[in-house]
Amino acid sequence: MQDDVVIMYVFVMTVDVPVGGSSVNLDVAHPCRPVQFDFGVEKVRAGVSVECSRVDDLYRLAVCGLQRFEWKEFVFPDVVQQLFHGARAEKFIFTNKSNEIQVKSLSLREKISAYYLKNMKIALIGYGKMGHMIEQIALERGHEIVSIIDIDNREDFASEAFRSADVAIEFTTPQTAYDNYLQAFAAGVKVVSGSTGWIPEHGEEVRRLCREEGHTLFWSSNFSLGVAIFGAVNRYLAHIMSGFPAYDVRMEEVHHVHKLDAPSGTAITLAEDLIHAIGRKDKWVKGTFTAPDGTVSGTEACAANELRVDSIRRGEVPGIHSVVYDSEADCITITHDAHNRKGFALGAVLAAEYTATHEGLLTMDDLFQF
């Protein structure tokens, strides 16, 4: 393909918008903005044909859950079916910069597959609860697991199999994550990581490695779509509550008994966002810690400018996060309650698919815009 050709994928499709009524502005209904979708139209109504260009747009649509389409034109059904779970495709058109329509087939196919997520080569670093769940979801989505590194085979960072990975997905421990990033970077492999608890010690250096030395890390304290939405609600609620000082605010997180860090990474992210929005709080502090046997340590006492975060370790709870605004008159609580680890694992694989074609320090804000 010539260098000056911009790959444009023009799809004519009927969109069934799963949220809202019969007429929905994507800007409102979904974590995306029309301009980023490049629809050529500002509003998309259920049952209306729209044009969508660029693979990125399709990818984002898939991420946003727009999965029911009636495709009127295209080719490459495998690519589309992978994203939209069964959508049918007949004809595929793309244009170059001068809008001259060209139809290409097999020579481009590989390029699209590579760009597009099919058969991505994934390495797993950490093969515990998350590593196993991620393996299952990555295989379901058509990817290949080329290397699995756990605590007892770290020499495999130097292996050809590891080096061949498009992306490594890292879920290990607060103590080991940073070294794993260094090993993967040295092997020239991009990293998606959900390990928590390493930022106070290594955050600055990791930011520098990505911003100044060209390495790529997609990190999030929580990869689930639900928590991404919850985070947006948290920011919005905090913005409202900043005008109502009669309410004091505190947070609580509950996790399984195996968790090594407290408070959870998600709680810290939510707390930092909240502090940013509420002038009367300027730092978060650890509150009480309830151990698996019910023993409570720590304290509920904190200064007015401090946001208290309580931690509870109980059974096999995958993760519950609450933000509580309490006044003399009433109490407002928002809670995210993960039923299992699937949401985290799917989010991590989606992030890996995104990371394969992006560079630098990436976050959930790159994947979902609210």
Ligand X SMILES: O=C(O)C1=N[C@H](C(=O)O)C[C@H](O)C1
Ligand Y SMILES: NC(=O)C1=CN([C@@H]2O[C@H](COP(=O)(O)OP(=O)(O)OC[C@H]3O[C@@H](n4cnc5c(N)ncnc54)[C@H](OP(=O)(O)O)[C@@H]3O)[C@@H](O)[C@H]2O)C=CC1
Active-site residue identified among 259, 286, 342, 358: 259
The full DSSP string for 70-129 is EE-S-S-HHHHHHHHTS------BEE-TT--EE---HHHHHHHHHHHTTT-EEEEE--SH
CB 225 within 8 A of CB 347: yes
Three-class DSSP category at 295: coil
Does residue 266 touch ligand X according to CB under 6 A? Answer: yes
Active-site residue identified among 118, 121, 255, 281: 255
Catalytic site residue 202?
no
Distance CA 319, CA 133 (A): 16
Q: Which residues contact 57 (CB under 8 A, 6 or more apart)?
A: 36, 37, 38, 39
User: Token digits for 164?
Assistant: 């061949």
State the binding string over 201-240 for ligand X (x if CB under 6 A, else -).
Answer: --------------------xx------------------
Does residue 181 touch ligand Y according to CB under 6 A? Answer: no
Which of 194, 287 has the CB closer to ligand Y?
194
Question: How far apart are CB 140 and ligand Y at their closest, in Å?
Answer: 18
Task: Bin 86: left if φ > 0, else alpha if -120 < ψ < 50, else beta.
Answer: left
Torsion (CA) 70, 73, 78, 83 in degrees, nearest 10: -50
- Half-sphere exposure of residue 146: CA atoms within 13 angstroms, side-chain side: 18
Does residue 319 touch ligand X according to CB under 6 A? Answer: yes
Residues 309-368, interacting with ligand Y (CB under 6 A) = 344
Question: How far apart are CB 212 and ligand Y at their closest, in Å?
Answer: 25
- Binds ligand X (CB under 6 A): choice among 193, 264, 311, 355: 264
State the binding string over 206-245 for ligand Y (x if CB under 6 A, else -).
Answer: --------------xxxx----------------------
CB 166 within 8 A of CB 122: yes
Catalytic site residue 259?
yes
The residues that touch ligand X, with contacts defined as CB under 6 A, are 196, 221-222, 255, 259, 264-266, 319
Active site residues: 255, 259
The residues that touch ligand Y, with contacts defined as CB under 6 A, are 125-131, 149-151, 154, 171-174, 176, 180, 194-196, 220-223, 265, 344
